[in-house]
Amino acid sequence: MTNNINDNLSLTASTAEAGITQDPWAQLKKFTRARIALGRVGSSLPTREVLDFGLAHAMARDAVHLALDVAALAADIQAQGFSTIQVHSLAPDRANYLLRPDWGRRLNDHSQQDLANLCNLKKQNTAPIDFLIVVGDGLSSLAVSRHVPPLLAEIRQHLPADWQIGPVVIASQARVAIADEIGQALNARMVAMLIGERPGLSSPDSLGIYLTYAPKLGLSDADRNCISNVRPEGLQYAAAAKKLLWLAKESMRLSVSGVALKDESDVQEITQQP
Amino acid sequence: MAYRYSVGSQTYQFADLKTVLAKATPARSGDYLAGVAAETYAERMAARMCLAAIPLKTFLEDLIIPYETDEVTRLIIDTHDQQAFAEISHLTVADFRDWLLSDAADSATLKRVAPGITPEMAAAVSKLMRNQDLILVAKKCHVSTSFRNTIGLPGHISVRLQPNHPTDDARGIAASMLDGLLYGAGDAVIGINPATDSLPALMDLYYLVDDVISQYNIPTQSCILTHVTNQIQLIERGAPVDLVFQSIAGTEKANKSFGIDIALLKEAQSAALSLNRGTVKNAAGSHNVMYFETGQGSALSANANFGVDQQTCEVRAYAVARHLSPLLINTVVGFIGPEYLYDGKQIIRAGLEDHFCGKLLGLPIGCDVCYTNHAEADQDDMDTLMTLLATAGLTFIMGIPGADDIMLNYQTTSFHDALYLRKVLGLKAAPEFELWLKAMNIMDAAGRIQPVTKTHNMLQNMPKNLLNAA
C-alpha cells in the first residue's frame, strides 16, 4: 500500500461522499481560500475535511520550526544590489524564542558590539541613514526566504534617490521590536522591519512589514504602521512596496509613525488620477 | 503590606497583595515570563491558602496598581458600588467562593451584587475555584444586551460571523458571509478584521456588510475591527457604523500602547449612539454599541503589567468594558501565543477563568476559542473548551469557515462547531435571528439546519458583489 497522502485523501473522499449534504455554492470558492462550502454530515464536518485540516495544521507546525538559511538569504539580497549584515537576538534557539519573546526583541552582546562598531565607522564616512531595512525570521523563515528578495527588488524601484539606505540587517530569532534597537544603534531616521508572520493553515509563508519613525528601545505597537499578508496569494510585492513607500514618505514628512499616521495611500492614488 | 502563610514549619512570605495573587494562579507560561509565578507547587498552594483568608474589603484598600498613576484603578475604585457590595462585604475570598456556589447566590442575587464586585475580587476567587466551579457559577450569571437583536438570554448561544480575507477582497468577504449565514451563523455580529488601515477601504467594508444586512433584512449588527480613532473618523464621514470595536487591556499603560484611554472610548461610544442605528432596546432603554476584545497577556506584552499576574490584568480590562456597556466582549484566549498560554491545558483554564470573571462582573462575554500554530494545542483542545464554555452559558463563539482564519492566521471555531454546540446542548440562536433563519428556510421548525438548494433565495439573489462575478 502506498503512503502518498493525496492518494489516501482522495480514497477517503470517494468512499465517504455518499452521506454528505453538499453545499450548492461551491462556485464561490474561486473568490477566497477560506474553507467555505465544506458540506456537512448531520451538522458536522465530513471526514475528508477533517483530514485536510489536519494535514494543513501539520504543515504549519513544521514551518514554525524550520530554521532560516541566513547565508542563502544574504546572497539573494546582495543580488538585489544591497549590502547585508547579520545579527542575532538574545534567544539562543527556537525553543527559547517561543517562550521568551522579550529575548527575541533584543540583540545579543556580540551583535550590539558589531552595530556599535559599524555606526562609529559610518559617522566618520557617510551621511546618517534615512531608511533602514531589517529582515527578521519571526515565526516563518519560509516567508522571509521566499518573499524578501522579490519585495526588496520592488522597494528599490520606488526609493527616493536622495534617501540614505543602510545595509539590510538580517536578524535571526527575531521579534518585531528588535528593529527598534537596531535602528537606534545605527542612528536611522526610520526603520522598516520585514518579518515572517505566524503561519496560518493556508499561508505558512506570510510576510509582515512594520514601519517605525525614530526607532528606539521601548516603543510600542501604537508607534508602528503595519502592512500584513505580503505574498503572491495575498498582498502582491508591487502593491506592498508602494504602500510602504507611501507610508515612509508621509512618516518622513510628518515626523511620526503609528496610530498618528493614517494610511490614505488609496485616496492619494485616486486624487492623483487625471 | 506583607502577607505570609505557614505550612508546618515553613513560612511563605509574600511581599504584597499582587504577589499573593500571582503566586496563587494556576501555572501558565506568561506568569513565568513575567517572573511572577510561584516557584514550587507548595508555594502556589501556600499562596492560595493565604489568599483564601483575605477579606474582600482588602481589595478596596490595598490597591495592586496605584490609584494615582493608573486610570483603570481610579475607574475601579471611583465606580465601585458600595450598596451592591454590602451583601458580600463581610466575606473572605474563601467565603466568597462558598457563597457563589451556594443556592443563596441565585441569578437575581448575582446580578444585584455584580456592581459591588471589583476585578481583583473576581480574579482572587477564581484562583481558588476548580474548572467545574467556574462553569457552575458562570451559568448562574445572566447578562443580556441589545442592538438589533437580543444577545445572552439563558439557553442561547450566539455566533460572531468573521468573514475575513487577507486582502479585504469584497467578493471573498461576501462569499464567507454567505457561507456563514447559510449555516445559521452571525447573530452576535458580522465582524471583519480588515487587513487595511486605509480609511477609504474601511469605508467600503462598512458598506459591504451593511448592504448585505439590509438586502436580506437580517436582525444583526456589523463591526469593522480597526482602531477606534479610525472608526470615529469614519462615523464623522458618514459611514454606517453599528458597533464600535476596540482591543482593551487592564492597565492605563497597556491601553496607551493600544493608542487609547477611557475618555477616547467614551467619545467613540457617544459617536456610535448618536447614529441611533439600533432597533431593539436593552433593559436600560438604550442600545449597547461597543464591542471589545481582550486576552490574557496583553498587558505584559506591552510591558505594562506592573508585577500583576496576567489573569488579574485581564479582569481589570473587564472594568473598562463594564464602564461602556458593550453589546459583546470577547476574550481571544489562545491568540497571543505559547509564551503566555503554552498548551491546551493552559488555554482551557484561561478560557474558563475569563468567562467566569466576565460574567461575574456582569458582562456579555464570549470567547474566541482559539490557538496558533506555534502553540501546543489542536482542534481536540478547542472541542473541549468550547463544550465546557457552552455548558457554562457562554454568550457567543466565533464562526469562521472551517475554523481557519486565512487573514489572521490562527485556528478558531467554525459554523459547524456552533451547530454542534446547539445540537448537543440544546442551545438556540438569538430569538430575532432565529425567526429570520426560519423565515429564510435555513432552519426548520425544530431548530435544525436545513439543506439549501440552488434555488434558495440567497443563492438566487446573491450580495451584489457576488452576483455579477458568480
Beta strands in B25-140 (DSSP E): none
One domain, residues A102 and A161: yes
Query: Number of helices (H) and strands (E), helices first, in chain A?
Result: 10, 6
Across the interface, of A25, A197, A229, the residue whose CB is closest to B459 is A25
Q: Which residue is closest to A205 within chain B, CA to CA?
A: B409
Q: Which residue is closest to B465 within chain A, CA to CA?
A: A31
Residue window 122-181, chain A: list those with CB within 8 Å of chain B: 139
Calculate the CA A219 to chain-centre distance.
19
What percentage of chain B exceeds 90 in pLDDT? 94
Low-confidence ranges of chain A (pLDDT < 50): 1-16, 269-274
Domain final residue, candidates A64, A88, A110: A64
Q: What angle do CA A127, A130, A133 make, to 5 degrees?
A: 120
One domain, residues A154 and A20: no
- Specify if B299 maps to a domain: yes
* Cβ pair A37:B337 closer than 8 A: no
Residue window 181-200, chain A: list those with CB within 8 Å of chain B: 197-200
Question: Any CB–CB contact under 8 A between A216 and chain B?
Answer: no
CB A91, CB A109: distance < 8 Å: no
Q: What is the mean pLDDT of each run of 10 residues along chain B (470 residues)?
A: 90 98 98 97 97 98 98 98 98 98 98 98 98 98 98 98 94 97 98 93 97 97 97 98 98 96 98 97 96 97 94 98 98 95 97 98 98 95 98 98 93 98 98 98 94 93 73
Distance from C-alpha of B17 to C-alpha of B460, rounded to nearest angstrom: 62
Cα–Cα nearest to B157, from B455, B430, B470, B458: B430
Question: Any CB–CB contact under 8 A between A205 and chain B?
Answer: no
One domain, residues A49 and A157: no
Cα–Cα nearest to B440, from B219, B170, B277, B280: B219
One domain, residues A76 and A180: yes
Question: Any CB–CB contact under 8 A between A18 and chain B?
Answer: no
* Cβ pair A200:B163 closer than 8 A: no
Distance from C-alpha of B263 to C-alpha of B284, rounded to nearest angstrom: 22
CB B208, CB B241: distance < 8 Å: no
One domain, residues A122 and A171: yes
Enumerate the residues of chain B whose CB falls inside 8 A of the CB of residue A218. Answer: 303
Distance from C-alpha of B286 to C-alpha of B326, rounded to nearest angstrom: 11
Enumerate the residues of chain A whose CB falls inside 8 A of the CB of residue B197. Answer: 225-226, 262-263
Strand partners, A227: A209
Helices A47-65 + A5-16 axis angle, to 10: 160
- Specify if B301 maps to a domain: yes
CA-to-CA separations, B466 to A25, A29, A31, B171, B333, in angstroms, rounded: 11, 11, 9, 6, 34
- Number of domains comprising chain B: 1
CB proximity list for B62: less than 8 A, separation 6 or greater: B1, B16, B17
- Specify if B202 maps to a domain: yes
- Specify if A265 maps to a domain: no
One domain, residues A57 and A122: no
- Number of domains comprising chain A: 2
One domain, residues A182 and A110: yes
Mutate which: A20, A35, A197, vs B, most B CBs within 10 A: A35
- Specify if A247 maps to a domain: yes
Domain extent for A211: 69-260
One domain, residues A53 and A91: no
The whole-number pLDDT of residue B95 equals: 98
* CATH number of the domain where residue B279 is located: 3.20.20.70
- Specify if A268 maps to a domain: no
One domain, residues A75 and A124: yes
Cell of B285: 432603554
One domain, residues A39 and A77: no
Phi–psi pair at A165, nearest 5 degrees: -110, 130
pLDDT digits (tens, 9 = 90+) for B263-283: 999 999 999 999 999 999 999
One domain, residues A59 and A78: no
- Specify if B10 maps to a domain: no
Give the strand order in the sheet containing A131-136.
A84-88, A168-172, A131-136, A190-196, A207-213, A224-230
pLDDT digits (tens, 9 = 90+) for A21-55: 999 999 999 999 999 999 999 999 999 999 999 99
Across the interface, of B256, B403, B452, the residue whose CB is closest to A24 is B452
- Specify if A132 maps to a domain: yes
Enumerate the residues of chain A whose CB falls inside 8 A of the CB of residue B182. Answer: 23, 25
- Specify if B18 maps to a domain: no
* CATH number of the domain where residue A251 is located: 3.40.50.11240
Cα–Cα nearest to B61, from B26, B37, B89: B89
Shortest Cα distance, chain A CAs vs residue B423, angstroms: 8
Long-range Cβ pairs for the range B261-265 (8 Å, 24+): B261/B71, B262/B71, B262/B72, B262/B75, B262/B320, B262/B323, B264/B228, B264/B229, B265/B228, B265/B290, B265/B320, B265/B324
Enumerate the residues of chain B whose CB falls inside 8 A of the CB of residue A176. Answer: none
Distance from C-alpha of A29 to C-alpha of A32, rounded to nearest angstrom: 6
A–B CB contacts, 8 A cutoff, strictly below: 195
- Specify if A250 maps to a domain: yes
Strand partners, B246: B292
- Specify if B43 maps to a domain: no
Question: Any CB–CB contact under 8 A between A39 and chain B?
Answer: no
Residue window 45-74, chain A: list those with CB within 8 Å of chain B: 45, 49, 53-54, 56-57, 60-61, 63-64
The whole-number pLDDT of residue A242 equals: 95
One domain, residues A73 and A202: yes
The whole-number pLDDT of residue B313 equals: 98
Which H or E run includes A182?
Answer: helix A178-185
CB A143, CB A203: distance < 8 Å: no
Tell me whether 0.90 is exceeded by the ipTM.
yes
Across the interface, of A21, A43, A99, the residue whose CB is closest to B420 is A43
Residue B356 has, within 13 A of its CA and on its CB side, a CA count of 29
Question: Any CB–CB contact under 8 A between A267 and chain B?
Answer: yes
The whole-number pLDDT of residue A265 equals: 73
What type of residue sits at position A157? Q
CA-to-CA separations, A116 to A10, A111, A182, A183, B82, in angstroms, rounded: 57, 9, 10, 11, 58
The whole-number pLDDT of residue B140 equals: 98
Calculate the CA B246 to chain-centre distance.
12
- Specify if A240 maps to a domain: yes
Shortest Cα distance, chain B CAs vs residue A59, angstroms: 9
DSSP letter assigned to residue A208 = E
Domain extent for B274: 145-439
Q: Counting beta carbons within 10 angstroms of the beta carbon of residue B229, is it exposed (0 to 12), middle (13 to 18) or buried (19 or more)? A: middle
- Specify if A271 maps to a domain: no
* Cβ pair B338:A98 closer than 8 A: yes
Residue position matching grid coordinates 462598512: B206
CB B199, CB B230: distance < 8 Å: yes
- Specify if B62 maps to a domain: no
- Specify if B422 maps to a domain: yes
Phi–psi pair at A211, nearest 5 degrees: -110, 130
Cα–Cα nearest to B364, from B142, B211, B200, B205: B142
Q: Which residue is closest to A239 within chain B, CA to CA?
A: B167
- Specify if A196 maps to a domain: yes
